[in-house]
Structure 1
Amino acid sequence: MNTSKHPSLHTIVLFLNLFLIVPLTTSIGVNYGTLGDNLPPPSDVAHFLKTRTTIDRIRIFDVNTDIIKAFADTNILVSVTVPNGDIPSLTDARNARRWVDTNIKPFYPATKIHYICVGTEVLHWGPQNLVDNLVPAMKVLHSALVKEGFDEIKISSPHSLGILLSSDPPSNASFRPGWDVGSLGPMLEFLKETKAGFMVNPYTYFGYSPANANFCLFKPNPGLFDKATGITYTNQFDQLMDAVHVSMKKLGYPDVEIVVAETGWPSGGDPANVHANPTNAAAYISGLMKKVSSGNGTPLMPGRKFETYIFALFNENLKGPSLDEKNFGLFRPDFSPVYNVGIMHASQVIFLWFDYIETFR
């Protein structure tokens, strides 16, 4: 029995392993939501991400000027979002130029604005007026950017996987009728022309059942066999991504890049959702980071890397209605990690270790 007041070597190894689950050189994006009344100021967030984490890009759900300004000169890529309700007005060229003059021009290029996301899951949530105006608004907004000389800023729009008619097996996947040729075909043509990514939100959390827990969490499992291709899928992330790819291919756009605009796993939730816990969240995010940083791609997209944004940066106490929605964060509002998957810089691991040792003195 070890009676020393100092941590044992075994304890040291266990502690460091918590922070070294994935290589610390891995860079990753994160969704920076603000639905909380206890969140730190944007300037503190920008400093924290730049100096203490490997996160090199963020996505926000509006055009919050305080956040956009806070990330100036940080070298962190920032993607902003046009609120769904503003989409119809941006089909007018004058309004689109005014929007760019107000929300982009004062901050770019000091802030490295990367994408403008036109709406969020518009096809899933509607109404039809927004659906009908989505691609036209994307095109007009792109033209406004080009006229300002902001050609490097990309235009896209994130989709829930409700756009899929099916995903199991991936070889049988397709987009939902109506949306396929009505909206997604023209959008994919636009994305191909502008060399932008097709944004999707693949949450394996929402496909969870006790029977497929390991399949959802990147843990060893028997896999899902697709007899049409002879492929055995060992995780649901690959299954969903290949389902999107097959659906794009059926419309004639297999080579448009796919961006993972949102994916995550909550560390807490409503009592019925016992799978919403820190252990599962850490397993999913760790597996995800290994997957997207490996360069291995998926069975149908070998060798591809996917620009990926974890949902979310912080636990947000004003989200709801479920407790799950409040607990998707990598960090608490005081910047302490909810669980540890290697997102902190190596130097921060050392500082945390010294803090840990201090508690034994």
Structure 2
Amino acid sequence: MATSNPNLSILPLLLAFLFLGGSHHALAIGVNYGTLGDNLPPPATVAAFLKQHTIIDRVKIFNTDPAILTAFKNTGISVTVTIGNGDIPSLAKLPAARDWVSTHISPFYPSTQITRIAVGNEITATGDKNLLGHLLPAMKTLYSALKLAGISNIQVSTPHTLGILTNSEPPSNARFRPVFDKVIFGPMLEFLRETKSPFMVNPYPYFGGLSENSINYALFKPNPGVLDSNTGIRYTNMFDAMLDSVYSAMKRMGYGDVEICVAETGWPSVGDANQPFVTMENAISYNGNLLKHVSSGKGTPLMPNRRFETFLFALFNENQKPGSTAERNFGLFRPDLTPVYDVGIMRGGQAGGHTPSPSVSGKKWCVAKPGISVQALQSNIDYVCSKGLDCKPIQSGGACFQPDTIQSHAAYAMNAYYQSSGRHDYDCYFSQTGLVTSSDPSYGTCRYSS
């Protein structure tokens, strides 16, 4: 793993996101906020953390959870909401669509900056003819329902996997799957053009049939590249090739002018034994290089200088997601809001957490368990500091003050008590709120004693 700090090269580029305005066409960094975990912080805590400590200015959620929509009120963070796949057929009728807007949008908008409705997720990959037949009608009807409610600036679209393409290598040969092209994508792209909404895609180089020969190509690392003999373009990363394949298919049908939104992309940091390319190093490399790439404004070979709204997957590691270990480890953050790793999305260059250090034989630390209430953690801080231990590092201006969260401050205080008391497991008990770990929680200039 490279020893250089990714913050130094990536952060200045990402800070540009903050000054590019609020339009749908401005470059922006977003994150998919999933909630399939039993240890995740409350939405209000998440919204406050993103606003205060990160440069993330938009989130995409997979439902219309009123607690989440309420939490993001007046934060300035825009929200893309998602309609469940099973709700699509009923929403193709205007009365149901108007009721849906009245229930799920109007009570929150515009205090909550809802900017887009994603109608279902990857419907074309389901093979469900009923959903496919109702998808575009539901999109059109929801758009009409928004207009009838006096809402004119919420976009309506739907995300797709790249399985919608055929002949996608080289990119210039790509086209939509037969029948789908004229029956589904032609009319859909016409609707998106008319409503100035983006075509949403989920490009994942992680799923691109990786091998030792292609891993650097997927991670934006130096590699020989892949030649498109039709155009003479040599692609040096899989992400550009994927987006240009989508563009070629759209252009072939006459819709090359429709914006493209990267609704999901990411890389897991932990996997199973049969997933050799799922490592912390590769997750840092992909997400860090991706953010640097999209923030450069260079676009892709077929779409030079074009900007793509990009949503990383995902905000949290979600311990209740089904599937392999990797599926539960796409997160940028742990439930206690410390980064799993940092690629420069913390404000002011503050890491706000750490990339876990390798276990050090014989050394242990005490931290707060995930999901513990703020009241309990504050009691731990008060107890430790009342014992005369040095709490200055977690006070304003101290080396461990950032991130300014109860979880982070409590972890530092609890460890200070644990170390000074003899490092017995019971010294980390704290009424069942402490956890002994062999991974050093130190980060930046914040050093946890051991």
Q: CA deviation at 1:166?
A: 2.6
> What SS is found at the alignment partner of 1:54?
coil
Task: Give the aligned residue type for 1:275.
Answer: F
Match of 1:218 in 2: 220
Match of 1:191 in 2: 192
Match of 1:248 in 2: 250
Q: Distance in 1 between matches of 2:16 and 2:35?
A: 25
Task: Give the aligned residue type for 2:280.
Answer: P
> What SS is found at the alignment partner of 2:326?
helix
Question: Aligned-pair RMSD on alpha carbons?
Answer: 1.6
Q: Distance in 1 between matches of 2:257 and 2:265?
A: 22
Match of 1:44 in 2: 45
Q: CA deviation at 1:116?
A: 0.2
Match of 2:287 in 1: 285
Highest RCO, 1 vs 2 (Cα 8 Å, sep ≥ 6)? 1
- The alignment status of 1:321 with 2:323, answered yes or no, reads yes
- State whether residues 197 and 257 of structure 1, in contact with CA within 8 Å, keep that contact through their aligned partners in structure 2: yes
- State whether residues 26 and 289 of structure 1, in contact with CA within 8 Å, keep that contact through their aligned partners in structure 2: no
Q: Distance in 1 between matches of 2:115 and 2:194?
A: 17
Larger mean Cα displacement after TM superposition, 346-355 or 326-335: 346-355
- The alignment status of 1:20 with 2:65, answered yes or no, reads no
Match of 1:306 in 2: 308
Q: CA deviation at 1:149?
A: 1.5
Percent identity between the two aligned chains: 56
Q: Distance in 2 between matches of 1:232 and 1:221?
A: 11
Match of 2:79 in 1: 78
Match of 1:103 in 2: 104
- State whether residues 20 and 341 of structure 1, in contact with CA within 8 Å, keep that contact through their aligned partners in structure 2: no
Cα gap change, 1:43 to 1:276, in 2 (>3 Å): same
Match of 2:399 in 1: 354
Q: Distance in 1 between matches of 2:37 and 2:10?
A: 29
TM-score, normalised via structure 1 length: 0.93
Match of 2:273 in 1: 271
- State whether residues 267 and 277 of structure 1, in contact with CA within 8 Å, keep that contact through their aligned partners in structure 2: yes
Cα gap change, 1:79 to 1:358, in 2 (>3 Å): closer
Please point out which of 257, 260, 272 is paired with 1:258.
260
Q: Distance in 2 between matches of 1:53 and 1:250?
A: 39
User: Which blocks of at least 5 consecutive residues in structure 1 are unaligned?
Assistant: 1-13
Deviation string 1:299-337 (CA, Å, 9 cap, x unpaired) is 000010100000000000011211110000011111111
Q: Distance in 2 between matches of 1:287 and 1:29?
A: 15
Q: CA deviation at 1:211?
A: 1.2
Match of 1:165 in 2: 166
Cα gap change, 1:138 to 1:269, in 2 (>3 Å): same
- State whether residues 261 and 308 of structure 1, in contact with CA within 8 Å, keep that contact through their aligned partners in structure 2: yes
- State whether residues 21 and 341 of structure 1, in contact with CA within 8 Å, keep that contact through their aligned partners in structure 2: no
Cα gap change, 1:132 to 1:360, in 2 (>3 Å): closer
> What SS is found at the alignment partner of 1:22?
helix
Q: Distance in 1 between matches of 2:59 and 2:135?
A: 23
Moved over 3 A (4+): 349-353
Q: CA deviation at 1:347?
A: 5.8
Deviation string 1:160-196 (CA, Å, 9 cap, x unpaired) is 0110113210011111112111111111000000000
Q: Distance in 2 between matches of 1:340 and 1:360?
A: 18
Q: Aligned residue pairs: how many? A: 347
> What SS is found at the alignment partner of 1:115?
strand
- State whether residues 21 and 286 of structure 1, in contact with CA within 8 Å, keep that contact through their aligned partners in structure 2: no
Match of 1:7 in 2: none
Q: CA deviation at 1:126?
A: 3.2
- State whether residues 121 and 159 of structure 1, in contact with CA within 8 Å, keep that contact through their aligned partners in structure 2: yes
Please point out which of 208, 211, 215 is paired with 1:209.
211
Q: Distance in 1 between matches of 2:273 and 2:353?
A: 36
Q: CA deviation at 1:45?
A: 0.3
Cα gap change, 1:62 to 1:358, in 2 (>3 Å): closer
User: Which blocks of at least 5 consecutive residues in structure 2 are unaligned?
Assistant: 18-28, 355-397, 401-442
- The alignment status of 1:331 with 2:333, answered yes or no, reads yes
Cα gap change, 1:267 to 1:21, in 2 (>3 Å): farther
Larger mean Cα displacement after TM superposition, 96-105 or 162-171: 162-171
TM-score, normalised via structure 2 length: 0.75
> What SS is found at the alignment partner of 2:224?
coil
